[in-house]
Structure formats: C-alpha cells, structure tokens
Structure 1
Amino acid sequence: MAHEQHQQLLKTLHECMEACNHCFDACLEEEDVKMMAECIRLDRECADMCAYLEQAITRNSPFVKELAGVCAAICEACGNECQKHNHVHCQKCAEACFECAMACKAAA
C-alpha cells in the first residue's frame, strides 16, 4: 500500500491535528477570546487540513503532493499565529505546526 511509505508523515499530521484541536479548545477558555480569534480560526483550518491529508494518504489519493503543499502553507500560517501568543498551548501548537509544515514540504 502506498501509504506505508508515508508512515512518519501520517504520525506528524496526526500530532499536529491533536495539537491544533487542543489549542483551539484552550483558546476558547482564555480570558480575552476576541484576541485569540485568529488563532482559533487557524487552529481549525490546520486541524481539518491535517486530518484531510491523513485520509488522502491512506486512500492513495493522486493529489497527495498538491494537498501536502496546501497543508504546509496552512501549518505555517497557524504556527506563525500561535507563536505570537505566550500561552503554553499556543507555543506547543506552533512547534507541532512548524514540524508538520516541514514534513509536508518534503512530501510535496
């Protein structure tokens, strides 16, 4: 199966999705939720894209390279936004996003 060659990428995508979902949830609990709006928005975009790319890889989609390029761009945007906030969940999310962006660029 083609997805066997992407095992590390699948793991990285899943970890990024989990970090973004955690960050999303934690941002909703922050005192100034309005200040976190862009972080929340990008957490959702990134988590959804990572999950979609995971599915595409496991079904051997012919668009994996293209989707990986899009995923890398979204992960970078999310990481850049999360990096602006001092919350631990945001910093951990930024780290996961940047790692995922690098892995996606390699697959693209």
Structure 2
Amino acid sequence: MAHEIHQACVDACNTCADACDHCAAACLQEPDIKMMARCIALDMDCAAICRMAAGYMARGSEFAKCLCQLCAEVCQACGDECAKHQQEHCQACAKACQQCADECRRMAS
C-alpha cells in the first residue's frame, strides 16, 4: 500500500497541518495581530499543502514526490517564521514544521 510506504511522512504532514491550524488560530488572539500576519499566512499555506501532500501519498500519486518537495519548502518557511516568535504555539508549530520538512525531503529524494 502506498500510504504504508510513506506513513512517517503522511503522519508528519498531518501533525504539521494540525499544529499550523492551531498556531494560526492562536495568533489571531494575540494583541498585535499585524506583527503575526506573516506567521498566520504561512500557517494557512503550510496546513493546506501538508494535507494535500498526505492525500497524494495516501493515493500513491505519481506527483507525490514533487508535491512533497514543495511541501518541504513551505514547511521550512513556516517553521522559520514561527521560530521568530516566543509564543508557545509558535514554537510548537516551528518544531512540527521542521520535522515535516525533514520527512518530506526524505520522501522526495
């Protein structure tokens, strides 16, 4: 089964998407939302591409590797941005993004 072969990457993508959703929602509650704008935007992009990549891998799509390469880039950008903020939700998101980027790079290679 295609999804079993890449299960670690599928799991990392789903975990990352959840962390990004939580981070975006929490960032919207911060006192200075303007300061969090890039974080929120990247959280939304990252969550969306992670869920898409997980689906492509689960289906065994011929484009899964290409999508995972892009997913790794988006995760890296999101993680780098989240790491700049001290909030616990941003730090947790940064960690999930880095783990997902690493798994997606492994899958795509």
Give the TM-score range, shorter chain: over 0.9
Aligned to 1:101: 101
Separation (CA, whole Å) in 1 of partners of 2:36 and 2:47: 16
Aligned to 2:17: 17
Separation (CA, whole Å) in 1 of partners of 2:11 and 2:107: 13
Aligned to 1:52: 52
Aligned to 1:7: 7
What SS is found at the alignment partner of 2:106?
helix
* Aligned-pair CA distance for 1:59: 1.3
Alignment deviations for residues 12-46 of structure 1 (CA, whole Å, 9 cap, x no partner): 11100000000000000000000000000000000
Q: Does 1:87 align with 2:87?
A: yes
* Aligned-pair CA distance for 1:60: 1.3
Separation (CA, whole Å) in 1 of partners of 2:106 and 2:30: 35
* Aligned-pair CA distance for 1:9: 1.0
Q: Give the fraction of aligned pairs with identical amino acids, expressed as a percent.
A: 49
Aligned to 1:77: 77
Q: Does 1:64 align with 2:28?
A: no
Separation (CA, whole Å) in 1 of partners of 2:61 and 2:36: 34
Runs ≥4 residues deviating over 6 A: none
Alignment deviations for residues 53-92 of structure 1 (CA, whole Å, 9 cap, x no partner): 0111111110011001000000000000000000000000
What is the TM-score with the length of structure 1 in the denominator? 0.98
Letter in 2 for 1:96: A
Letter in 2 for 1:36: M
What is the TM-score with the length of structure 2 in the denominator? 0.97
How many residues align? The count is 108
